[in-house]
Chain A
Amino acid sequence: MQPFHFARTADARSAVLMHGSSLRDASPDPANASTQYLAGGTTLLDLMKLGVMRPGQVIDINDLEHTKAGAIEFAADGLRLGAMSRMSAAAEHPDIRRNFPAVSQSLQFAASAQIRNMASLGGNVLQRDVQPSLAVLRNPTWFNPGISGEPHDFRDSDPHHRSANV
């Protein structure tokens, strides 16, 4: 594993400002960006150990779990899953189990219990294969908490677009 600068923040705006490396990077693929966010780490650290990902800076955003970014909220227009909520929290949420069983059932047996405790839903979305249950829901949208209020259609198939909006 290559050494890296490590930073940690509990503030979404700071996390976005600290990132800022996409303009400098040679490759347009966010997966190759020199700065990476660290949430659960179940993918990032795995790939860093293999030398597949070699960020020069890692920003630990796990503390955002305790902010709005980690919230699971129900409103008249539907369910809002914060990107920093953990897979296990969404899978076990009684209201999700009752009202959105496709979501909870697709999450509750994925990977392992330990990984579900660590893995964020935002990271789950960044996996190459999109969470199928989320893709079939009506009007799934994807909000960038830091930059603009513009919602993006979750089904946007461009993985670069998805990655850039974390």
Chain B
Amino acid sequence: MVSHANSGPRWSRRNFLATSVVSTMSVTLLDHPPADAAPASAANPRDPIVTNTTINGRHYRMAIDVRTTLLDALREHVGLTGSKKGCDHGQCGACTVLVDGRRILSCLTLAASTEGKNITTIEGLAQADGKLHPMQQAFIDHDAFQCGYCTPGQILSAVACVAEGHAESEAAIREYMSGNLCRCAAYPNIVDAIKQAKNKMEGA
């Protein structure tokens, strides 16, 4: 079901025609999006679709199976494996990323739905020179992870939680971070980390 960007079916005239038709259509749609858009493709639903997304400030153009979730697109096509697949059904929060600044579950989002959006993954938090985001630093300072599997989702969720104004108290942090499960039970340290980062992020 998931095709890789650099591997896949052997090159054939059929593949070439299918790919070039999709590419042509996608360029046309990007230049002149019709107000009452007809279905994007009358072709075979198993044909790849093309998406254009900005991820961590870089533009990515992907030709992928229509069923590809944002999580699988990030991990399998773009190679950003920081976002984790914990349950793949929206229950654990390990796949949390930011789309246009809002925290969402990438396992329940189609990559096709992210056309034109700005996505931030865990890989996009640190600065170019390697300086960690205050939330990342706080998670280290407070030993807020053990196995680390939930951690990328926790950090992104926490960044958004602070931005939403939902980190005003320990009770609020626990409630508004409840969508991110931690089987290692690092919760007390996660709460402490968020408290520290909130102060840094709000310029204290």
A interface vs B, CB < 8 Å?
A: 1-9, 11, 13-14, 17-18, 38, 40-42, 45-46, 49, 56-58, 60, 62, 92, 109, 111-115, 117-118
Distance between Cα atoms of A58 and B93 in the complex (Å): 25
Contact among A3, A17, A46, A60 with B45 in the assembled complex (CB-CB below 8 Å): A3
* B35 shortest CB reach to chain A, Å: 6
B1 within 8 A of A: yes
What are the interface flags for B9-20 relative to A under an 8 Å C-beta threshold, 1 for contact and 0 otherwise?
Answer: 000000000000
B164 within 8 A of A: yes
Q: Which residue of B lies closest to A118 (CB)?
A: B104
Contact among B36, B45, B90, B166 with A56 in the assembled complex (CB-CB below 8 Å): B45
A8 touches B41 (CB 8 A): no
Main SS class of interface, B: loop
B69 within 8 A of A: yes
Instruction: List A contacts of B112 (CB < 8 A).
Output: 6, 8, 60
Number of interface residues of B (CB under 8 A): 42
A41 touches B108 (CB 8 A): yes
Distance between Cα atoms of A5 and B37 in the complex (Å): 14
B69 touches A45 (CB 8 A): yes
**Contacting chain A: which of B53-61, B137-145, B171-179, B196-204?**
B171-179
* A21 shortest CB reach to chain B, Å: 12
What are the interface flags for B97-122 relative to A under an 8 Å C-beta threshold, 1 for contact and 0 otherwise?
Answer: 00000111100111011010000000
A46 touches B36 (CB 8 A): no
Distance between Cα atoms of A3 and B160 in the complex (Å): 33
B147 within 8 A of A: no
Q: Which are the 6 A-B pairs with shortest beta-carbon distances?
A: A112-B179, A3-B45, A14-B36, A7-B39, A45-B108, A1-B67
Contact A113:B36 (CB < 8 A) given known A41-B109, A60-B110: no
* A14 shortest CB reach to chain B, Å: 4
Instruction: List A contacts of B45 (CB < 8 A).
Output: 3-6, 56
What are the interface flags for B144-164 relative to A under an 8 Å C-beta threshold, 1 for contact and 0 otherwise?
Answer: 000000000000010011001
B40 within 8 A of A: yes
* B169 shortest CB reach to chain A, Å: 15
B interface vs A, CB < 8 Å?
A: 1, 35-42, 45-46, 49, 65-67, 69, 88-90, 93, 96, 102-105, 108-110, 112-113, 115, 157, 160-161, 164, 166, 175-180
Q: Which residue of A lies closest to B35 (CB)?
A: A11
Instruction: List A contacts of B160 (CB < 8 A).
Output: 113
B90 touches A42 (CB 8 A): yes
* A27 shortest CB reach to chain B, Å: 20
Instruction: List B contacts of A58 (CB < 8 A).
Output: 110
Contact A1:B1 (CB < 8 A) given known A45-B69, A114-B104, A117-B103: yes
* A24 shortest CB reach to chain B, Å: 15
Contact among B38, B46, B113, B175 with A41 in the assembled complex (CB-CB below 8 Å): B113
Contact A6:B49 (CB < 8 A) given known A14-B35, A60-B113, A113-B161: yes
Instruction: List B contacts of A6 (CB < 8 A).
Output: 39-41, 45, 49, 66, 110, 112
Contact A46:B90 (CB < 8 A) given known A5-B41, A7-B40: yes
Distance between Cα atoms of A7 and B25 in the complex (Å): 13
